[in-house]
Structure 1
Amino acid sequence: MKEPCQYQMEQILHSAVRNITPYRKNWLIETEAGKWVVKRTRFPARLRWWLKVDQELRLRGFTAMPPIRSDGSRWIITPFIEGKTASYSRWQEVEKILQVLAQFHLVGQRLHTPPEKGAAFLLYHRLYERLIQFYRVLTKTPFLEKELGELLESHGQDFYLDGRRAWQRLQSLPLQKICHDEWFVRNITHRDLASHNWMIDEGGNPWLIDFETASYDSQLGDIWQISARILSENNWTDEWCHRVLMSYEYVRPLSPLEKKILYTLFSYPNEFFREAIGLAERKRGYEIKHSVPYLKKLIEQRENWQKQIKRISYW
């Protein structure tokens, strides 16, 4: 991880740098004007695109994301937020987060900034690709690390069949058209709504961070991703299932069709697929000691998860 150049940081921040230290796989810079988090981007073109989107969102009134300073090619610099990473098990935080996400979606509809160049990798593409990736992992179970291999040998096929059935049901719904339509009209999505991409400041206000995966796509993908993670964190209880979408819809109501597609998406075991693929392919950020216990938790939840999906079909 290459350390940022002190002189360059001073030029961007217009302040003398006192200290540079590693921070959450990035860098923390202390200056006379305060503390800053510095991240090196792997995609300069994407950074330049996001800087334009960021400016447009702020002009429209959405400010629940740290202001960005940048050299426009490598470095993303944002103010250090005094606070903590959000927890998806604390209802007071979750309620605020869902309403901020809904505001982000409302403000981020029909933007003027042109999309990035190149083919779009939309929600329905990602679902199919992940299903295929997981199938390939299943064919390699004898060659995986023992604990992961044994776990997938016992339960992997069940989750694969869950995913295939969900994908087949989605084919009868206009998800593909919705994805293309929302890309065409330029509706913004975050696409990586893990709890660590929300910060809660000392006043209890949520801040959405890390937009490296953001793109124009169906906003249903964000709603599904964050709702599934929150509900899994809280064991898919009736209370949480009832409250999660109500909080989002308080700001941005969903159409009956959107709810039907979202209900079908909930039956797709994305969390299990993502963790298993990450471990099998030795991706950055996936470790046996953390991911295997999470996979075991998802296995234990599977029966309750499927029962709950049937109960929430009234959404």
Structure 2
Amino acid sequence: MNDRAVALLEQYEIEVLRTRKGRGAILCDTQQGCLIFKEYTGREEQLRLQEQVLKHLEDCGNISAERLLATREGALSVTDRDGVRYILKTWWEGRECNIRDREECMEAMRLLAGLHKDLEFIPTFPEMEGIPTPVIRRFLPSREYEKHNKELKRARRFLKQRSQKTWFEIRLAAVMDPFLEEAGQICEEWKKIENSHDVEAGETFCFCHGDYQYHNILRQDRGFFLVNFEKCQADGPIRDLYLLLRKLLEKSDWDCNRGEALLAAYESVRPLNPFERQDLFYRLSYPEKLWKIVNFYYNSGKAWIPEKNQEKLDRLLEQETARKKFLRILRA
């Protein structure tokens, strides 16, 4: 960020004592504590939703999370003369959640369950007064993964037509068919379950963080502090639970004992209903890690393929047996 961006802070009702760089943004020491000023590329509607979600959390008083600050005129973002938008939020100095610490990860799971319990609400907007709030339907992940399947098939065709292949491309082409077959079967089963699950009016509704992973769970002496709610959305709790659980299991080579302990920690605060458990099973069953590897490869230059690609593919294949074992336990 440049000095022009820092000058935008004058639009806020704050007194900046000092600024410093941090986490791809500007950290501001103020009389109100530490704030973070960062670029924002999302929609204004998303910002308004984020503000309501964070205000609701603050009112509940159970979880420490960031808070959006408005300008003197009440705007949630400011724009420089080049059209770049910025937002200002509260911030805690702290470290990321330690993924190697079993107890800390279980605590992060319990915190997530508490977050979901607090976010069982439907926001309202002033300009919608008198207009019935529509029933917000649960996000259907099978649609997203159908798109992933098409991308995998496109990459497979490309690999088959490529005459001279690197070792990574040879290895990838050799394993894609089984994964793609599995992905297609999972999507078909998933759609049948989603179609049979009717979201009734009045069913408990929950927002999710949208990007609940250890990077966004900060630890300090005072406890955990949740940040980066820019992706919060109406998708139900399993989106968050799946993301964190998958990340932690990949880091532990899909250790079944650890996976069961993490899930039990979440359910000690907020038990899963049968549909949510099925939802979690199918999200974890989909070979998303392979899709990410393929997507990165297919959309990058082919003249030089990073060695990291091969390492990620090897690790994925090494973990496949353990992943399948955990899925069997989850479905039992």
Please state which band the TM-score falls in when normalised by the shorter chain: 0.7 to 0.9
Distance 1:145 1:17 in 2: 57
* Long gaps (5+) in structure 1: none
SS at match of 2:92: coil
Residue of structure 1 aligned with 2:191, choices 157, 171, 179: 171
- The answer to whether the aligner puts 1:195 opposite 2:214 as a matched pair is yes
Change (3 A) 1:107 1:160: same
- State the identity as a percent: 19
In the alignment, which residue of structure 1 is the partner of 2:103?
Answer: 92
Shift of 1:50: 1.2
Structure 1 stretches of 4+ moved >6 Å: 182-185
Structure 1 residue 108: deviation in Å?
0.9
Q: Give the distance between the partners of 2:158 and 2:253, measured in 1 at CA.
A: 30
Using the alignment, how far apart are the partners of 2:201 and 2:185 within structure 1? 25
On the 8 A contact 1:111/1:186 being kept in 2, the answer is yes
2:183 and 2:201 map into 1 onto residues whose CA distance is: 24
Moved more, 78-87 or 182-191: 182-191
Give the superposed CA RMSD: 3.4
Matched residues in 1 for 2:164 and 2:108: separation? 37
| 1:108–1:273 distance in 2 versus 1, CA, 3 Å | same
**Deviation per residue, 1:198-255 (Å, 9 max, x gap):** 212244x222221222111232222222222222221122311220110000110112
C-alpha spacing 1:8/1:270, structure 2 compared with 1 (3 Å): same
Deviation for aligned residue 1:2: 6.1
Contact 1:68/1:78 (8 A) holds in 2: yes
Q: How do 1:65-144 and structure 2 match up within 5 A?
A: 65-70=65-70, 71-73=75-77, 74-113=85-124, 122-141=140-159, 142=162
If the length of structure 2 is used for normalisation, what is the TM-score?
A: 0.79
- Aligned residue in 2 for 1:267: 285
Q: Normalization by structure 1: what TM-score?
A: 0.82
User: Matched residue of 1:66: which SS?
Assistant: coil
State the secondary structure of the residue aligned to 1:215. coil
Deviations 1:78-101 (A, max 9, x none): 334222122333212211111111
| AA partner of residue 15 (structure 1) | E
Gap runs ≥5 in structure 2 = 78-84, 126-132
CA-CA distance at 1:281 after TM superposition? 2.5
Write out per-residue CA displacement over residues 51-81 of structure 1, whole angstroms, 9 at most, x where no aligned residue.
1222123223343312222441333323342
Cα distance in 1 between the residues matched to 2:214 and 2:256: 21
Question: 1:138 Cα deviation (Å)?
Answer: 2.7
SS of structure 2 residue aligned to 1:173: helix
Q: CA deviation at 1:11?
A: 3.5
User: How do 1:223-302 and structure 2 match up within 5 A?
Assistant: 223-282=241-300, 288=306, 290=308, 292-302=310-320
Distance 1:275 1:38 in 2: 32
Pair member with larger Rg: 2
Give 1:294 deviation, angstroms: 3.0
1:160 aligned partner:
180
**Residue identity in the other structure for 1:296:** D
Query: Structure 1 residues 235, 259: CA separation in 2 closer, same or farther (over 3 Å shift)?
Result: same
CA contact (8 A) 1:37 1:78 kept: yes
- Cα deviation for residue 149 of structure 1 reads 3.0
Q: 1:288 offset after TM fit, Å?
A: 4.0
Q: Give the direction of change, closer, same or farther, for the CA distance of 1:35–1:218 in structure 2 (3 Å limit).
A: closer
- The Cα of 1:194 is off from its aligned counterpart by 3.0
Distance 2:233 2:38 in 1: 19
User: Which residue number corresponds to residue 5 of structure 2?
Assistant: 5
- Separation in structure 1 between the aligned mates of residue 227 and residue 165 of structure 2, nearest angstrom: 33
